[in-house]
Amino acid sequence: MALLMAAGVMVWVVNAVLPASPTPPTTASDGAHSAPEAGTGQEPPTSPAPTDARGSPAPQAAGSSAPAPRAKYVENGPGTYRWAEGTSSRAGTGGRLVRYGVKLEDGTGLNVHQIATEIDGILRDRRGWINSGEASFQRVDSPPYDMVVHVVSPGTTDKLCGAWGLDTRGQVNCASRPDLVVNVRRWIELSDQYPDRPADYHALIINHEVGHVLGHGHRGCPGRGKPAPAMMQQIKGLKGCSANPWVYDEEGRLIDGPPKP
């Protein structure tokens, strides 16, 4: 197990989530997680599902680049959840279909329907992983799941990630097959690299962590003034690159950099 930590950095613990894929090592970085198995002993979905046109990408991640009012969240949540209800259309047409669910811990001050809609938009964007052809995505509200996104309090993040030996200190995220754990502190407070840019920073969280789920490791800055890869630990510093939340640019070119441990 590789463990890469930095204050305020998302932690990634990666074990490929796709059933027929080899399982990469557990790790920590810009986002990661582990939690109870999806669909077992949890509250039933309670919010309506978004609908999208036949898998066509959204041009922008859901949300606004303007500052959003900050929700108030509890430091230590109760460990109970609301699930996003409904099934989205398939995002992308190539590769393995990843069925995923979204669950939100009570006490976060957020809305599970809004979060699920934003995640759907990120995964549907042609600048994201669907452009790679290795996977497509569909949100569902019942098992089987290939991936579950947990959005939880800092304290619950520590409990879930700590189950794999990770010390998230209430500050970072983590991921482990088949789950992604998003610390609500990062979702709401963002990072120094993305001030007042919630839509972009949320896109980075999801793209970075889904990249780990698909088996991709960390990348470095490709050169001063160039966009940072989505798989770069941008919260640790941009190293001369410019902040960028997307895997591909507008012309469909991969935004890549040298491999990092």
Whether the per-residue pLDDT at 69 is higher than 70: the answer is no
- What are the b/e assignments for 122-140, b being 16+ CB within 10 Å? bbbbbbbbbbbebbbbbbb
And the tokens for 223? 């050169």
Q: Which residue has the higher pLDDT, 97 or 42?
A: 97
Residues 98 and 60 sit within 8 Å (Cβ to Cβ): no
Predicted confidence band of residue 254 (pLDDT cuts 50, 70, 90): very high
Is 178 contained in some domain? Answer: yes
- Sign of the alpha-carbon torsion through 209, 138, 129, 225: negative
Indicate the helix (H) or strand (E) that contains 119: helix 112-124
- Per-residue pLDDT, 173: 85
pLDDT (tens digit per residue) in 206-248: 999 899 888 899 999 999 999 999 999 998 899 999 999 999 9
Whether the per-residue pLDDT at 16 is higher than 70: the answer is no
CB-based contacts of 139: which residues, under 8 Å, 6+ apart? 49, 84, 86, 87, 88, 99, 100, 101, 102, 116, 119, 120
Is 65 contained in some domain? Answer: no
- Per-residue pLDDT, 70: 66
* Residue 26 structural domain: 1-47+78-261
Is 131 contained in some domain? Answer: yes
Is 73 contained in some domain? Answer: no
Residues 84 and 115 sit within 8 Å (Cβ to Cβ): yes
Is 53 contained in some domain? Answer: no
Is 60 contained in some domain? Answer: no
Q: How many CB atoms lie within 10 A of CB 2?
A: 15
pLDDT-above-70 percentage for the chain: 73
- The pLDDT of 68-90, averaged and rounded, is 89
pLDDT (tens digit per residue) in 147-206: 999 999 999 999 998 998 888 889 888 888 788 999 999 999 999 999 999 999 999 999
Is 55 contained in some domain? Answer: no
Residues 236 and 6 sit within 8 Å (Cβ to Cβ): yes
Q: Where are the beta strands (DSSP E) in the chain?
A: 81-83, 96-105, 135-139, 147-152, 174-176, 179-183
- The pLDDT of 4-23, averaged and rounded, is 38
Give how many domains the chain has, as a whole number: 1
- Per-residue pLDDT, 220: 97
Task: Give whole-number Cα distances, 259 to 4, 7, 220, 222, in Å.
Answer: 14, 21, 6, 10
Is 155 contained in some domain? Answer: yes
Whether the per-residue pLDDT at 51 is higher than 70: the answer is no
